[in-house]
Structure 1
Amino acid sequence: MIEHCWHHDHDILEIRPVAELKPAEFRALAAQVDPVIWEHGSLQGLLIDARHFRGWQNFAALVSHCVFTRNQHRHLQRIAVLSDNVLLAFMPQLLNHFVAAEVRPFPGSGEEAALAWLAHPG
């Protein structure tokens, strides 16, 4: 399941995967995000709270995640990833090769710093 909320008048989207991710969840999330992108033209930032990320339900869910990222990344200026997981700490470095947005890791306790970085692009 993916929980989400908006910050700064829909400029920053926060997503929190709280269970194994399923393909339908990315379609549901896109249905919430796409109208905001259509209205605003882009999002200032995306905060991925990966502190409780448990992986994907199956390969189809991983593919859905990749499709969602491919369709959304051009509309993002910055992506912040919260995690204390050593393997997930490398995710921003990997994402920087595939997405147009600037990606930066933050420790699990760094939510305020991550939101501040997302709110003030420079």
Structure 2
Amino acid sequence: MISIELDREAAIAVLQLQGELREKDFDLITKVIDPYIIEHGKLNGLIINTKDFPGWNSLGAMVEHFKFVKSHEKKLTHVALVTDSPIGDLMGILAKFFVSADVKHFDYDEFTKAQEWILEK
């Protein structure tokens, strides 16, 4: 499950992951951020905030996740992975091959630092 907050002034979307990701989570994200992107052309950043990466509840959810990344990667300038999960480092490295946004991993207690990183660019 995902909850999403959009800071319209800073142009940052914050995703809070709570439990396994589901297909419909990516519909929710799209419904929240796409109108902003249509109006402004892009987001300054996306913060993915989770203590531990919960995984997906189905293959379909994983496919929707990759579709979301593919369709939005050029519309984001920064992606901050705020997590203590070891997958944070791995995703930060792998993302450089698949997305044009700057991607950086932060420890779970460095949420404010992640926001500052996005805003300073």
Q: Structure 2 length normalisation: TM-score?
A: 0.94
The answer to whether the 8 A contact 1:18-1:52 is kept is: no
**Structure 1: stretches of 5+ with no match in the other structure:** none
Q: Structure 2: how far apart are the matches of 1:33 and 1:8?
A: 10
Contact 1:10 1:36 in 2 (8 A): no
CA distance in 2, matches of 1:31, 1:76: 16
Could you tell me which residue of structure 1 aligns to residue 17 of structure 2?
17
Q: What is the aligned residue count?
A: 121
| Paired letter, 1:50 | T
Structure 1 residues 24, 8: CA separation in 2 closer, same or farther (over 3 Å shift)? closer
2-side partners of 1:28 and 1:7: how far apart?
A: 16
Task: Give the whole-Å Cα distance in 1 for the aligned partners of 2:106 and 2:65.
Answer: 21
**Identical-residue share of aligned pairs (%):** 29
The 4+ residue runs of structure 1 with deviation greater than 4 A are none
Residue in 2 that maps onto 1:104:
104
Task: Give per-residue Cα distances to partners, 1:65-93, cap 9 Å, x unaligned.
Answer: 00011111110111110111123321111
In 1, Cα distance between the equivalents of 2:69 and 2:54? 18
Structure 2 CA distance for aligned equivalents of residues 45 and 87 of structure 1? 20
